[in-house]
A and B are shown apart, each in its own frame.
Chain A
Amino acid sequence: MAKKPPQQAALEAWLKTQGWALAPFQRALAEAFREGADGLCLAGTGSGKTLAAFLGPALSAPPKSAGLQVLWLTPLRALARDLATQLEGFCEALSLPWRVGVRNGDSTAKERRQLRQALPEVLITTPESLSLLLSSPSFLAQVPSLNAVIIDEWHALLGSKRGVLLELALARLDSLAPQARRWGLSATVADPDHALAVLLGPERGGRLIQGPKGVPPAVTTLIPEAIERFPWAGHLGLRSLPQVLARLQEAPSSLVFCNTRFQAERWFEALQRADLSLVGQLALHHGSLAQSTRRRIEDALRAGALKAVVATSSLDLGVDFSPVTQVIQIGGPKGVARARQRAGRSGHHPGGTPRLFCVPTHAFELLEFAALRDALDNGTLEPQRGLQGSFDVLTQHVLTRILGEPGTTEALLTEARRTHALASLSAGELAWVLDHLQRGGPALKAYEDYAKIERDSAGAWHIPSPRIARRHRLSIGTIVSDALVTLRWRRGGSLGQVEERFIRQLRPGDGFTFAGRALVLCRVDGMTALVRPGKARRVHTPRWAGSRMPLSSTLAAGVLQRLDPAASLPAREEMAALAPLLRLQETLSARPTPGTLLIETLESREGHHLFLYPFAGRQVHEGLGPLLAWRLGQQQESTVAVTVNDYGIELLSSAPLPQEEAELRRWLSPKGLGEALIACCEGTGLAEQRFRTIARISGLIFQGFPGGPKSQRALQLSSRLLFDVFKRYDPENAFLQQAQREVLTEELDSERLEGRLQTLSTLPWRCHHLASLSPFAFPLWAARVHARYSSESASQRITRMLAQLERRHG
């Protein structure tokens, strides 16, 4: 055995003074690292995973400082500060003369300059900032000394395009520092082997180390008092305000999670108004707020100065706030993993356990909570699969990569193939991407000065124009699907950012709420919206407010199980509370069960309604609904409006719908599904939205220079227009095809859809003609249209609409 490095001795001394011993998983990780292995460690927050991952590189540190040693990647900027403090503490305890630096979107210009000159031994950064760093030759020059790359909160990146961007960045680091070991830290996932494979790519093998699993949360649902009066639809849930207030008063500190920013704003307002003693002790936290505001809230929460913080997913990840003893979830969390994650944000005080209160916003969420508790008890989790075939991310990465250092086609191909996402990238596909970057592809008229990349004298690709380089640097890391508009006071100072879609619905003079304040929009100037304070009473609600998070298939299956009268599941108070509503459903129609397919029909002034309940979750229904509507349109001239939710589908048709089972069964046949789906997707706008996202990620559309000139508005092209233009004049475009593919696999989950159709086509059916809306039908009836299909001519539709209007007013 070699002589003990000084860090080892320091470690043992430190542990002794703290009275701690290394946990087995911490020891195992340090060992594995020393043996030169890569891998993934599964451990929750507060389990000591940071020390576990840091020990390896710390104990094998070279005697003298030798440049960048550890690159620590964490997806949330907010985590970086606390992480830095923690790691600095470890360095001190281990007598390591290492500096710890942070580089991310929050870094000041001065910090960035300092880092450019000489990197610290430990650099904490986000995946997006890592991409940005990879475009800088001065960073690249310092990478070869790298000893370890730690990817924190890997579960939060797995299965997303941010994860793909990170995979590509890691492959690049590999070329520069092949000796660096790669370790991921993740919460429990459904398929750890897959998570490991995606992290390491096809060419590296690694180990799985299981850390402490974490205590399961104690879960209670706040059952509404009078279920008969409780709404069947809706998403705000303010009816439960008194119960929530009571819970808040009982605990020193709570986190109140809402699914949308709109919900969070309303709850914040309502809580303050309901209990004036909370003013000053209540805060609102969401991702759109300015960074300084978020920091202030986090600090106050940590210090125990806040009774409650109303938050969206902005506080899903993070260092734990020890004063928080309970988490209140408003509305269904839509996923088991998310619920676990959020519950786990509480109970970090000594002797504490995570505590979760579930607050239903409409009656059927009681079903979801029952299913959630079943899943938590069984340890079931949603599967997460790494994405593949993301050419948009590849395009963005290629530009970043060659900005840092010119690269040949072969080098780019080899590097990309080292990732799970692009392991099967063909030479032809890469050639398409490079051709696109070089001349925009064949659909561009020979435009003399269009060229993002060019070959240099050595045959490697580089970016000749400084303007293009500058613009690309500004958009590195773009993965978000929506352009963001900055909210600014007229006199200066920014409040935060808001989605462009939200602002576009408002006119100057309209009021809206943001960060708990009533604001009035003055005017929009490019990507900045100027606002002034407004009156709370006169607030205009933008129309798209509402949760679009789909119920995970895991929970949807759980819900369906709960509806099965024959299933032997533990009794739950949620189901007992829901019993009267289910009885009403049985009276008016029938109860949906896993063993039958329930179909309800209804005639109204609006047309002919058909409701069906596959319980496959919103995602699958977004494919199933249009499919049915489209198939109907093939048979007869009609206009069909499709509405979907997590439980079922509504078709509202201008012409009578088939009532015979034989006909309906033909509709639901899985035969010819593939082509039908592609054809009917055109009506949903999903492909257009996807294409727009892909266009932004790949650099087809540019967000705009900060504070850019007014002509930036001229650069805005609606998703529909962009999509139409490409379809007409460049149908072979690989991004278009990627959009279509992603709609099928990511949005509609076509595999699951097909499976569900198969099952549905074999089940016995129950058709009921309703006299009035059943409890399950009502939420669909009340919801907004998801898609429209018309096989009538526009003239027929308009003529009919004009006749309807005349009947109403004439």
Chain B
Amino acid sequence: MDKPAAAARLTLGEATLWLLPEKAVLWERTLFVADVHLEKASFFQRQGFAVPTGGDGEDLQRLSVLLEAHGCERLVVLGDFFHRPPRPGSTAQADLEAWLDARARAGVSVHLVGGNHDGAAPPAEDHRGLRWEREGWRLGPLTCRHEPAETVEGPTLAGHLHPGYRLRAARKSSFYGPVFWRRGQELVLPAFGTLTGTLAVRPRRGDGLFLVAEGVVHPLPGG
């Protein structure tokens, strides 16, 4: 597969992964993202805080663009697709269903590995095209998780941590941004959603870090 522009290559076991600057991972014809947190703004609004909406539409739009640009057949969300599941009958629910319909028409299957925010159990009614998978779902050589595990058996992709890292060079020279974090055979993805923040990680010796900044993925030295 050709190298996508401005991406970084990472090999985990037998799998060749492309780490995209849009904070997603491309493997064969599958796109992986983590922590989209749709409905976060609405969640705030339901509590009585006037946080403007607008981010959700943008997130779904970004996903569509990515899926089309790379000709993907499958989208895997590594947990926290929703910050809170949308209320049935709300405008947000309608928008989501429309988006899922469009994916189905384009021949893209959407899989969600349930995260702590998505809801306690898969909903009784399956959204058309949204398939709920269990933690540790196997897809070829890859294992898909929401929360990273301490020990893994094979190449694993996970989310949940919203990793960020501060690169320090000389005094008073530093740069902070979201990162892909490779710990052994496990790769933790940065959070995809607009309203998500990052949490600074403390990498161990031998870990790999890939800093995402302005449309470029920079592999960092060490590990």
Produce 1/0 per residue, B30-53, CB < 8 A to A: 000000000001111111111111
Q: List 23 A-B contacts (CB under 8 A).
A: A444-B50, A444-B53, A445-B53, A447-B46, A452-B48, A606-B170, A700-B49, A717-B197, A718-B197, A721-B196, A722-B51, A726-B51, A729-B54, A785-B172, A794-B214, A795-B218, A798-B211, A799-B218, A801-B173, A801-B174, A802-B169, A802-B221, A805-B221
Complex Cα distance, B173 from A605, in Å, reads 11
Interface check B136, CB cutoff 8 A: no
Interface check A413, CB cutoff 8 A: no
A 441-491 contacts with B by CB, 8 A: 441, 443-450, 452, 467-468, 471
Query: Interface size on A (CB < 8 Å)?
Result: 53
Most B CB contacts (10 A, CB to CB) among A444, A718, A809 go to A444
Contact B53 A443 (CB under 8 A): yes
A 538-552 contacts with B by CB, 8 A: none
Contact A700 B167 (CB under 8 A): no
Q: Report chain B residues within 8 Å CB of A699.
A: 48-49
Q: Report chain B residues within 8 Å CB of A606.
A: 170-173
Complex Cα distance, B211 from A802, in Å, reads 12
Q: Report chain B residues within 8 Å CB of A449.
A: 46
B contact patch SS: loop
Give 11 A-B pairs besides A449-B46, A643-B172, A804-B169 with Cβ atoms closer than 8 angstroms: A444-B45, A450-B48, A606-B171, A607-B173, A715-B47, A717-B195, A725-B52, A798-B167, A801-B167, A802-B221, A804-B170
B 167-188 contacts with A by CB, 8 A: 167-175, 177
Interface check A793, CB cutoff 8 A: yes
Contact B50 A721 (CB under 8 A): no
Contact A641 B173 (CB under 8 A): yes
Contact B54 A443 (CB under 8 A): yes
Produce 1/0 per residue, A264-308, CB < 8 A to B: 000000000000000000000000000000000000000000000
Contact for A795 among B42, B48, B50, B216, CB less than 8 A:
B216
Given contacts A715-B47, A804-B169, contact A797 B175 (CB under 8 A): yes
Q: Report chain B residues within 8 Å CB of A440.
A: 45, 50
Contact for B91 among A445, A702, A722, A806, CB less than 8 A:
A445
Interface check B220, CB cutoff 8 A: yes
Interface check A714, CB cutoff 8 A: yes
Closest B-chain residue to A698, C-beta based? B50
Contact A441 B50 (CB under 8 A): yes
Contact A729 B53 (CB under 8 A): yes
Q: Report chain A residues within 8 Å CB of B83.
A: 714
Interface check B194, CB cutoff 8 A: yes
Complex Cα distance, B47 from A467, in Å, reads 10
Q: Report chain A residues within 8 Å CB of B167.
A: 798, 801-802
Closest A-chain residue to B49, C-beta based? A700
Q: Report chain A residues within 8 Å CB of B53.
A: 443-445, 447, 729
Produce 1/0 per residue, A781-794, CB < 8 A to B: 00001000000011
Complex Cα distance, B222 from A802, in Å, reads 11
Q: Report chain B residues within 8 Å CB of A607.
A: 170, 173
Given contacts A607-B170, A801-B169, contact A793 B52 (CB under 8 A): no
Interface check B55, CB cutoff 8 A: yes
Interchain nearest-CB distance for B98 vs A (Å): 15
Interface check A728, CB cutoff 8 A: yes
Q: Report chain B residues within 8 Å CB of A652.
A: 172
Interface check A503, CB cutoff 8 A: no
Complex Cα distance, B119 from A457, in Å, reads 40
Most B CB contacts (10 A, CB to CB) among A441, A798, A802 go to A798
Interface check A436, CB cutoff 8 A: yes
Closest B-chain residue to A716, C-beta based? B197
Contact A443 B52 (CB under 8 A): yes
Complex Cα distance, B172 from A729, in Å, reads 33
Interchain nearest-CB distance for A773 vs B (Å): 13
Interface check B213, CB cutoff 8 A: yes
Q: Report chain B residues within 8 Å CB of A715.
A: 44, 47
Interface check A500, CB cutoff 8 A: no
Q: Report chain B residues within 8 Å CB of A588.
A: none
Interface check A701, CB cutoff 8 A: yes
Contact A450 B45 (CB under 8 A): yes
Most B CB contacts (10 A, CB to CB) among A441, A443, A643 go to A443
Contact for B170 among A447, A605, A717, CB less than 8 A:
A605
B 112-132 contacts with A by CB, 8 A: 117
Given contacts A700-B49, A725-B41, A729-B55, contact A446 B91 (CB under 8 A): yes
Contact A701 B49 (CB under 8 A): yes
Query: Interface size on B (CB < 8 Å)?
Result: 40
Given contacts A449-B46, A726-B52, contact A795 B213 (CB under 8 A): yes
Interface check A730, CB cutoff 8 A: yes
Chain B residues with CB under 8 Å of chain A are: 41-55, 83, 90-91, 117, 167-175, 177, 194-197, 211, 213-214, 216, 218, 220-221
Contact B195 A802 (CB under 8 A): no
Contact B213 A725 (CB under 8 A): no
Contact B214 A795 (CB under 8 A): yes
Contact A447 B52 (CB under 8 A): no
Closest A-chain residue to B169, C-beta based? A801
Interchain nearest-CB distance for B81 vs A (Å): 15
Q: Report chain B residues within 8 Å CB of A700.
A: 49-51
Interchain nearest-CB distance for B27 vs A (Å): 25
A 560-612 contacts with B by CB, 8 A: 605-607
Contact A794 B213 (CB under 8 A): yes
Produce 1/0 per residue, A181-206, CB < 8 A to B: 00000000000000000000000000
Complex Cα distance, B87 from A447, in Å, reads 12
Closest B-chain residue to A720, C-beta based? B197
Most B CB contacts (10 A, CB to CB) among A446, A452, A641, A717 go to A717
Interchain nearest-CB distance for A737 vs B (Å): 15
Contact B52 A721 (CB under 8 A): no
Contact A436 B50 (CB under 8 A): yes
A 419-452 contacts with B by CB, 8 A: 436, 440-441, 443-450, 452
Complex Cα distance, B54 from A440, in Å, reads 14
Complex Cα distance, B168 from A531, in Å, reads 31
Contact A804 B197 (CB under 8 A): no
Contact for B194 among A718, A722, A725, CB less than 8 A:
A725
Interchain nearest-CB distance for A434 vs B (Å): 13
Q: Report chain B residues within 8 Å CB of A701.
A: 49
Complex Cα distance, B169 from A700, in Å, reads 38
Q: Report chain B residues within 8 Å CB of A450.
A: 45-46, 48, 50
Interchain nearest-CB distance for B19 vs A (Å): 15
Q: Report chain A residues within 8 Å CB of B52.
A: 441, 443-444, 725-726, 728-730
Contact B48 A702 (CB under 8 A): yes
Given contacts A606-B171, A643-B172, A725-B195, contact A802 B220 (CB under 8 A): yes
Produce 1/0 per residue, A241-257, CB < 8 A to B: 00000000000000000
Given contacts A440-B50, A452-B48, A725-B41, contact A794 B175 (CB under 8 A): yes
Most A CB contacts (10 A, CB to CB) among B48, B50, B195, B218 go to B50
Contact for A641 among B45, B117, B172, CB less than 8 A:
B172
Interchain nearest-CB distance for B33 vs A (Å): 18
- Top 3 nearest A-B pairs (CB, nearest first) are A440-B50, A443-B52, A801-B169
Contact A805 B172 (CB under 8 A): no
Contact A702 B47 (CB under 8 A): yes
Q: Report chain B residues within 8 Å CB of A799.
A: 218
Q: Report chain A residues within 8 Å CB of B172.
A: 606, 641, 643, 652, 785
A 768-787 contacts with B by CB, 8 A: 785
Interchain nearest-CB distance for A257 vs B (Å): 32
Contact for B218 among A444, A641, A798, CB less than 8 A:
A798
Q: Report chain B residues within 8 Å CB of A702.
A: 47-49
Given contacts A652-B172, A725-B41, contact A806 B49 (CB under 8 A): no
Q: Report chain B residues within 8 Å CB of A809.
A: 221
Contact B48 A471 (CB under 8 A): yes
Closest B-chain residue to A450, C-beta based? B45
Interchain nearest-CB distance for B48 vs A (Å): 6
Most B CB contacts (10 A, CB to CB) among A643, A699, A714, A806 go to A714
